[in-house]
Amino acid sequence: MPERVESESRKLLGRLRDSLAESAAGQDRLDRIVTLIATSMQAEVCSIYLFRDEETLELCATEGLKPESVHQTRLKLGEGLVGRTAKSRQVINTGNAPSEKGFRYMPETGEERYSSFCGVPVQRLGQVMGVLVVQSKAAREITPDEVYALEVVAMVLAEMTELGAFVDEGASLQARHRQPVTFRGSSGQEGAVEGRVYLHEPRVVVTNPVSDDPEAEAARLKTAIDALKMSVDSLLEGATTMDAEQVQVLETYRMFANSKSWVARMEADVGSGLSAEAAVEKEQSLARSRMMASDDPYLRERLHDLDDLSNRLLRILTGQGKDTGVDLPENPVLVARNIGPGELLEYGKALKGIVLEEGSVGSHAAIVARAWAIPLIIHAEGITTEALNGDTILVDGDQGAAHLRPDDTLKSAFRDKIAMAAKAQEKYASLRDLPAETRDGVRIGLHMNAGLMADLPSLAGSGAEGVGLFRTELQFLIRNQMPQRGELSALYSRVMDNAKGRRVAFRTLDIGSDKVLSYMKRIEEPNPALGWRAIRVGLDKPGVLRMQLQALVRAAQGRPLTLMFPFITQLAEFRAAKAEMDKVLIREAILGHPLPEELEVGAMLETPSLAFAPDAFFEETDFVSIGGNDLKQFFFAADRENELVRRRYDTLDVSFLTLIEQIVKRCAQSNTALSFCGEDAGRPIEALCFAAMGLRTLSMRAPSVGPVKHLLRRVNLAEVRRVIDTARARGDLTVRPAVMDYLSKLD
């Protein structure tokens, strides 16, 4: 950039800083800024339009247009050249505005006299907040250097808008981050809570967009970039045990951190008077708007990396971010882009709710949240940009919605909902020691699913009879290296101690598909859910399986032991897995370890093929546990992780219930114990229908035991079965409406 223009924009920023430093109310500030820009740029008109609401831009200050039009003239997003600038997030610079596509003449402003127009979006981190406009009579395009100066000013305006610097009391514009906003995502865990926002990675707030001393700022920027490079280098050095993908991300970080043009652009911005933080954020905003405009997944991914890198740099510069000493507020609701299970466990059960922009229902963070019964919302797009630490938030896990800064009416309706849920909980608690017995005397065994030590206290509180599924992979997933046998054995032993003699069905390691261990070499598979996972990995690379089986035997210390293998697809796999167990038992006996006094070895039925296995399978296995989450996804060929299809097929679809009925029959023929441990077991109506089809053991999340028991105790199971059979005979495609109708008539 030529020296002259650099000093022009520096001068402009210097004046702007002085003007902002003077105490003035919002409108006064805006008025001074437009006058200052018009004078400095020798233009007849300078105006600032800001968003009044998501769709409407309002003329908030002008030098040169009719003063009466301020706060009167409004434009829709995309309307006229101003609206187009906002919509496209691009500068529009023309010497002949009336001939431009979309030009709209607004007589109330008196703008017909101006032929040239330059509109610059006022944006911060990809979010457009308004438009800065310069117009003049002379038909001339503004030079690129002048546009640059305007962009720098627009950046400062964006920061000031963000900080609410232009909002007067009673102004027609509303301050940012003050209005109520509702985010609609998907439910990861039901439940309703009111709490306060705690940002996992708080947004860095730039309070000093303009610098006093560009030389000193340049030195700060350089020191921060050096620190950034060093931290990326040291991460890479320690990356030997990491998988290739992580290394690739870090390499990309290093590439950006060393990118001359990235650094040069920030240096130029600092040279023209921006603070180091504002210069980083200007680059970040640019990358975000490109990211939003791009359809190319590769480019989006790279720009995402750049965004993360900019955040790191901002944290270095401001000392804000993680470990900033902000304490958890009362009733904290964690708000984050995404979070891993390890990080979630660090927060512990103190959290009252979780709202994520990304995430998925089957992710392990979601499993942890569900195990703790913490309401969870995923896909709440945009919430990390809008929410501030400490904001009031209502988490509606049933509807998958988060209400940020709700108004009083919503708050009180929500509190009623919470009170009703608490009443229901009281009712369930009163049933805790009663059996899950239907009116016609059928007893259903209700067990709970677990995977963390933290789950075990729920065993006593929930009224569950035992642990029907202990997901051992969670212990592997929350670590960053392979756990040792001794460590696992001690843990399993504590689980059994806590269960106080009640049965715990340990499922051997179920990894692959969505459950990826960071310390195991990652294999690219076209369809991971149909790929090398669970028992397939265990049989092909038996080292970890054997280690785990040994840990289980040692943990039992002679006590009864129950274990099951995940994802058994055919008899041969079950036999091979059982043979591994037999070998372990022989070896443990030789080593002098006591063997379990009773041993049950079962299989999870998670693929339709196993329902059609030879009779020998049902005779050889001690029990079968239906993993309904996987079974359903394979039965309907609908990915359980894919929001587009995962709700498409009803569990109470006649075809799926008929499959369940078949499995019940086959187990009955060989007198093999059968249970169901997928998520559907915890849904009262589904649980009821499974019981009606003949299932006598269900395993579910601990908080579901109460609601399921409550419903089972109200019905006559033979009647429910008749309702289902009548619906099937009638040709209903799903039995849900018939069952709901029956339930609505219960007293």
- Output phi, psi for 9, to 5 deg: -70, -30
CA distance 231 to 340: 21
Q: How far is the CB of 627 from Mg ion (least distance, A)?
A: 4
CA distance 301 to 26: 39
Residue range at the interface with ligand PEP (CB under 6 A); choices 165-173, 236-244, 625-633, 708-716: 625-633
CA distance 400 to 103: 42
Does residue 630 interact with Mg ion by CB under 5 A?
A: yes
Residue range at the interface with ligand PEP (CB under 6 A); choices 5-13, 142-150, 241-249, 621-629: 621-629
Closer residue to ligand PEP, CB minimum distance, 154 or 691: 691
Structure tokens at 459: 């065993």
CA distance 25 to 547: 69
Member of 628, 684, 706, 707 binding ligand PEP (CB under 6 A)? 628
Residue range at the interface with ligand PEP (CB under 6 A); choices 237-245, 490-498, 541-549, 626-634: 626-634
# residues near ligand PEP by CB under 6 A: 10
- Strand 623-626 and strand 599-605: the pairing is parallel
Partner whose footprint covers residue 463, from ligand PEP, Mg ion, none (CB < 5 to 8 Å by kind): none
Q: How far is the CB of 367 from ligand PEP (least distance, A)?
A: 8
Task: Kindly write down the DSSP assignment for every residue of 534-553, as one continuous string.
Answer: THHHHHHSHHHHHHHHHHHH
- Of the residues 364, 379, 403, 447, only one is catalytic, namely 364
677 is an active site residue:
yes
Closer residue to Mg ion, CB minimum distance, 314 or 511: 511
Q: How far is the CB of 392 from Mg ion (least distance, A)?
A: 38
**8 A C-beta contact, residue 477 and residue 515:** yes
Cβ burial of 514 (10 Å; 0-12, 13-18, 19+) is middle
Member of 119, 463, 627, 707 binding ligand PEP (CB under 6 A)? 627
| 261-264 contacts at long range (C-beta below 8 A, 24 or more positions apart) | 262/306, 263/225
Partner whose footprint covers residue 403, from Mg ion, ligand PEP, none (CB < 5 to 8 Å by kind): none
Member of 389, 629, 642, 662 binding ligand PEP (CB under 6 A)? 629
Local structure of residue 61 (DSSP, 8 states): E
Output the 3-class SS for 359-425.
Answer: CCCCCHHHHHHHHCCCCEEECCCCHHHHCCCCCEEEEECCCCEEEECCCHHHHHHHHHHHHHHHHHH
Does residue 627 interact with Mg ion by CB under 5 A?
A: yes
Task: Kindly write down the DSSP assignment for every residue of 181-211, as one continuous string.
Answer: EEEE-EEEE--EEEEEEEESSPPPP----B-
Structure tokens at 183: 């985010």
Residue range at the interface with ligand PEP (CB under 6 A); choices 383-391, 422-430, 623-631, 714-722: 623-631
447 is an active site residue:
no
- Of the residues 46, 667, 677, 689, only one is catalytic, namely 677
Residue 387 pairs in a beta bridge with none
Member of 379, 447, 471, 554 binding ligand PEP (CB under 6 A)? 471
CA distance 637 to 620: 29
**8 A C-beta contact, residue 81 and residue 111:** no
**8 A C-beta contact, residue 135 and residue 117:** yes
Can you say how many angstroms the Cα of residue 624 is from the centroid of all Cα atoms in its chain? 34
Closer residue to ligand PEP, CB minimum distance, 83 or 566: 566
Q: How far is the CB of 607 from Mg ion (least distance, A)?
A: 10
# residues near Mg ion by CB under 5 A: 3
Q: Return the ∠ at Cα 619 (arms to 616 and 624), rounded to 5°.
A: 110
Which residue is it, tokens 């954020």? Answer: 281
Residues 674-703 interacting with ligand PEP (rule: CB under 6 A): 677-678
Does residue 630 interact with ligand PEP by CB under 6 A?
A: yes
Residues 588-607 interacting with Mg ion (rule: CB under 5 A): 606
Q: How far is the CB of 510 from ligand PEP (least distance, A)?
A: 6
Closer residue to ligand PEP, CB minimum distance, 26 or 451: 451
Q: How far is the CB of 341 from Mg ion (least distance, A)?
A: 17
Closer residue to ligand PEP, CB minimum distance, 123 or 186: 186
Closer residue to ligand PEP, CB minimum distance, 195 or 627: 627
Q: How far is the CB of 515 from ligand PEP (least distance, A)?
A: 8
CA distance 114 to 220: 43
Closer residue to ligand PEP, CB minimum distance, 185 or 362: 362
Partner whose footprint covers residue 195, from ligand PEP, Mg ion, none (CB < 5 to 8 Å by kind): none
Residue 187 pairs in a beta bridge with 377
Count of H helices and E strands in the chain? Answer: 27, 22
Member of 606, 691, 711, 723 binding ligand PEP (CB under 6 A)? 606
Q: How far is the CB of 511 from ligand PEP (least distance, A)?
A: 10
Q: How far is the CB of 630 from Mg ion (least distance, A)?
A: 4
Closer residue to ligand PEP, CB minimum distance, 271 or 678: 678
Residue range at the interface with Mg ion (CB under 5 A); choices 196-204, 301-309, 468-476, 627-635: 627-635
Local structure of residue 350 (DSSP, 8 states): G
Q: C-alpha dihedral over 249, 250, 251, 252, to 10 degrees?
A: 50
- Residues with a catalytic annotation lie at 364, 677
Write out the residues near ligand PEP by the rule CB under 6 A: 469, 471, 510, 606, 627-630, 677-678
Write out the residues near Mg ion by the rule CB under 5 A: 606, 627, 630
